[in-house]
Structure 1
Amino acid sequence: MIYTLTLNPSVDYIVKLESFEIGELNRTVDEAKFPGGKGINVSMVLSQFGTGSKALGFVGGFTGAYIEQSLQERKIVTDFIQVAEDTRINVKIKTGQESEINAKGPTITEQNFTMLKQKITQLNKNDLLVLAGSIPSSLPKTTYEELVQICRENGAQFVVDAEGDLLKKVMSYQPFLIKPNHHELGELFETTITNVEEVIPFGQRLVEMGAKNVIVSLAGAGAVLVNRERTLLAEVPKGTVKNSVGAGDSMVAGFLASYEKTGDIEEAFRYGVASGSATAFSLGLCTREKVEELLPQVKIKEIR
């Protein structure tokens, strides 16, 4: 079973306006709301492929109830921990440009965190946990390390989609997959990366540090997968980018859905790249139909 963890989920409220004037009454021309959070995005894309998952995390209040209901309507199993305060609302304002107002989220108590760790303890060697996104300020900075240590002890695989120190600190626990983009990879090694050739040695260093599989995305310039056996380069599909939110989560979900069915790293990489591109070319998260339409454009070659 794949479990996804979103420590600070949100209701994403998207409003579109012709223009926005500070200090004036502004009226929307369109609006929508969605359950938000990186782990939740992974679960929603997995469901597009018919791959089951269970969504973990913390929710509270009427906004938390909306998230649970929305996921259950999509046939996604949830096992959230209820907290005292409301789940946050993030506002995304679309005019000529997009502006975001992200709330800080509810307080997570020590008791809440203990309950989460108890859930993770129940995972076993047949399970995989996706840890995605930032850690709320009310949780310890060692949260990811504590959780992956539990995975290590009970034999569960795990994926980490985070950046900076969060990512560095879990490398020695041997994540099954990490997925930095080229900017995040450059920041990790205090350098600038501009093309796929420059990615490869740093991807190999991450493997040496403990990662089993590393995928680095370079937007329209391609993507690279590195592990101990192979280095693969993907040519990404061509299209008009409409949305960058959730593209990385979609790549993770596409990879995992395919790998669970086939056990083939190259085919999983192909699906991951197509899934990330399908979301980038859509206004929301990708659909299975859009992913399969783009698959023939994803050309993989091996670097020896």
Structure 2
Amino acid sequence: MIYTVTFNPSLDYVVDVKTFKTGQVNRTEQEKMFPGGKGINVSIVLNHLGLKSTAWGFLAGFTGEEISKRLDEEGVNTDFIQVEKGISRINVKLRSTEETEINGQGPMIRSTDIEKLYAKLDTLKTGDVLVLAGSIPDVMPQSIYMDIMKYLEGKDVMIAVDATRELLANVLPLHPFLIKPNNHELGQLFGVTISSKEDVKKYAAKLQEQGARNVLVSMAGDGAVLLTEEGKAFESEAPEGKVKNSVGAGDSMVAGFLAGYLKNKDYAQAFKMGVCTGSASAFSEELATKEEVEQLLKNHAFPF
């Protein structure tokens, strides 16, 4: 079974305003609302690809109820922890001549709430997959990803981590099955600017030396690179298409990679699936569908 954890889910309210001006009333040309959060995105895309997962995390208030309702409508299994104080956040994404984001804070997560999450972790079995993705609310210990992985040591659970800076660096000695930084996040870890695939390979190899088993690096329009625990390196240019919305593309790549790997345990096929799933989301206003992914797999020429 696959489980995803989103510590700070959101309702993403996306509005288009032709020419936004401060200090006056602005009218939207288009508006949409989605359940948001990196782990939630992974669960939605996995569901689109025909793989069931269960979304874990913390919800609160009327916004939490709406997130849960929308995921139910998507057909995503959920088992969230209900938090008493506060509300799940609303993130406003304003698209105009410039893009602006206003992200909410989220609810007050207590130690007793975190204990409930650990009780869920106790149910994981050998061969299960756990996806830890996204940022951590300020009210939670910033070591939580590392703490969870230490807690699960010896359980033979495949853990994928999609996080930045210390959240990612701290888990490397615990040998996560998969990490997926983008090239900018990879550069931040080493204090360098990374723009070429050769640079990506060089620094991704350093993350393997620190303990990561497989390193998948997204490079937006420049494609992606995968270094596997088998000592192989795969790279690809990005499929051709018009980018409509980059939000969720990286999460979709994680979902596609896992879906591809779990099908036949083949890293080359997993990489192809990850690249095409991430691109399919970028080329759509919403998250990738199975049909969109299959079309890119058919049309994109990989160099291997």
- Verify same fold: TM over 0.5: yes
C-alpha separation in 2, matches of 1:193 and 1:28:
37
Structure 2 match to 1:53: 53
Q: CA deviation at 1:298?
A: 3.8
- Match of 1:14, SS? strand
Q: CA deviation at 1:235?
A: 2.5
Asked if structure 2 preserves the Cα contact closer than 8 Å seen for 1:158 and 1:175, the reply is yes
Q: TM-score, normalised by structure 2?
A: 0.96
Q: Does 1:97 align with 2:98?
A: yes
Structure 2 match to 1:254: 256
Tell me the number of residue pairs that the alignment of Structure 1 and Structure 2 aligns.
Answer: 302
Structure 1 match to 2:145: 144
Structure 2 match to 1:63: 63
C-alpha separation in 2, matches of 1:172 and 1:132:
18
* CA-to-aligned-CA distance 1:139-162 (integer Å, 9 cap, x gap): 011111111112223221100000
Q: TM-score, normalised by structure 1?
A: 0.96
Structure 1 match to 2:131: 130
* CA-to-aligned-CA distance 1:228-269 (integer Å, 9 cap, x gap): 321111222011111111000000000111111121111011
Equivalent residue for 2:293, pick from 288, 291, 294: 291
Structure 2 match to 1:106: 107
C-alpha separation in 2, matches of 1:228 and 1:122:
27
Q: CA deviation at 1:19?
A: 2.1
- Match of 2:253, SS? helix
Equivalent residue for 1:276, pick from 268, 278, 299: 278
Structure 1 match to 2:169: 168
Asked if structure 1 preserves the Cα contact closer than 8 Å seen for 2:239 and 2:296, the reply is yes
C-alpha separation in 2, matches of 1:204 and 1:287:
32
Percent of residue pairs bearing the same amino acid type: 50
Q: CA deviation at 1:210?
A: 1.1
C-alpha separation in 1, matches of 2:299 and 2:176:
29
Aligned letter for 1:153?
Answer: G
C-alpha separation in 1, matches of 2:12 and 2:20:
19
Q: CA deviation at 1:211?
A: 1.0
Asked if structure 2 preserves the Cα contact closer than 8 Å seen for 1:158 and 1:177, the reply is yes
Structure 2 match to 1:227: 228
C-alpha separation in 2, matches of 1:37 and 1:97:
22
Asked if structure 1 preserves the Cα contact closer than 8 Å seen for 2:20 and 2:97, the reply is no
Q: Which deviates the most, 185-194 or 44-53?
A: 185-194
- Match of 2:152, SS? helix
C-alpha separation in 2, matches of 1:152 and 1:298:
39
Asked if structure 2 preserves the Cα contact closer than 8 Å seen for 1:4 and 1:54, the reply is yes
Unmatched tracts of structure 1, length 5 or more:
none
Asked if structure 2 preserves the Cα contact closer than 8 Å seen for 1:151 and 1:157, the reply is no
- Match of 2:247, SS? coil
Asked if structure 2 preserves the Cα contact closer than 8 Å seen for 1:234 and 1:298, the reply is no
Q: Aligned-pair RMSD on alpha carbons?
A: 1.2
* CA-to-aligned-CA distance 1:184-219 (integer Å, 9 cap, x gap): 111111112111111112111211211111011112
Q: Which deviates the most, 18-27 or 8-17?
A: 18-27
